[in-house]
Amino acid sequence: MLLPFPPLERIVEVHVPAEDAGRVLLDYLEERYNYLDRAQWAAEIGKGNLEVNGLRATETMPLSANDLVFFQAKDLFEQDVSFDISILAETDDFILVNKPGNLPCHPAGRFFNHTLWAWLRQAHGLEGIHFVNRLDRETSGVVLVGKNPRFAANAAKLLHSLGVETHKRYLVLVHGRVPTAPFTANGWLMKDVNSPVGKKKHFAPIRNDGDSDVIELPEDDEAVTAQTDFVNRGFYRPPLPGEEPTKFHPDPRGEFTLLEATLHTGRTHQIRATLCSMGYPVVGDKLYGVDDRIFLKFAGSMLEPQDWKRLILPTQALHAWKLVIPSLNIDVTAPAPFLNGF
């Protein structure tokens, strides 16, 4: 895709950790950095784009602890993204933007210039970039970026100690008709052992059998607690022929539910995993939607028309809708891109 700004040069410098001492360079790269496969890393070495301690690298070069590996990434393929970004507010200390779905916040893996970070630097001319909150690549909505580390640290502290006045709220559209009464999901997030996707999480409610002093612990030692408040904001239907194909419409008989979610904990995949485990998969979600095998096909660029039909939306219907930090005079909302009439 054609970038809306001059691209940044990508240079990677890493020191080899002690546990990788004795390995040859190609083995190290293949295991540590999976955004290129073994053949692609070999090609980059062959083109002279890698050095170790200032010397041109070879595939079989042995590595020692703390060796400096230098990689000048040239013309690496990055998947298409959306730069449909709007500025919600800006001061000398921060900028608030409404991020679209299908845009990573910061560089990771193959993504570098195709990120919100690069857009802020190159298209908006922002030198200091300190993300106070970050959203998944396919999650849209409000992102707060500090222009200096002092503001960012203070804002993050306020945001992580959420109270009645300071809060962030999400809108999420799910399959199924969720009961209208507000509810709180309080439980554990742990590895989903039944999923073919290693990073998928499962939510299990906390059980104490009526005794508040006795809580049954999960078997997964890496399980973490997660608590989310949900409010039903209405029932929706998908777009009809002739309507905008990416927007759902309010319908009291609709088979989809719009929920407002407020986090008490900030766990990875918290909202999506919680709702999926409760039987309400997120619309458009390739991992926590109607079939997690779609994620594997998506990762391999093998999605078929019937897969897109099941997803309904091109990106997951999760949107960071509202951010309020009164002490910083921040109170903003951003409309969800997948809704009509909200």
- Residue matched to tokens 């759902």: 248
Return the closest-CA partner of residue 17 out of 63, 62, 69, 65: 65
Q: Which residues of the chain are modeled with pLDDT < 50? A: 212
Considering the entire predicted model, what is its pTM?
Answer: 0.89
Instruction: Give the whole-angstrom CA distance, residue 69 versus residue 253.
Output: 59
71: helix, strand or coil: strand
* pLDDT above 70 as % of the chain: 97
How far is residue 140's CA from residue 299's CA, in Å, rounded to a whole number? 20
List the one residue out of 286, 256, 293 whose CA is nearest residue 272. Answer: 286
The confidence score (pLDDT) of residue 160 equals 84
- Residue 220: predicted pLDDT: 80
pLDDT given at position 342: 78
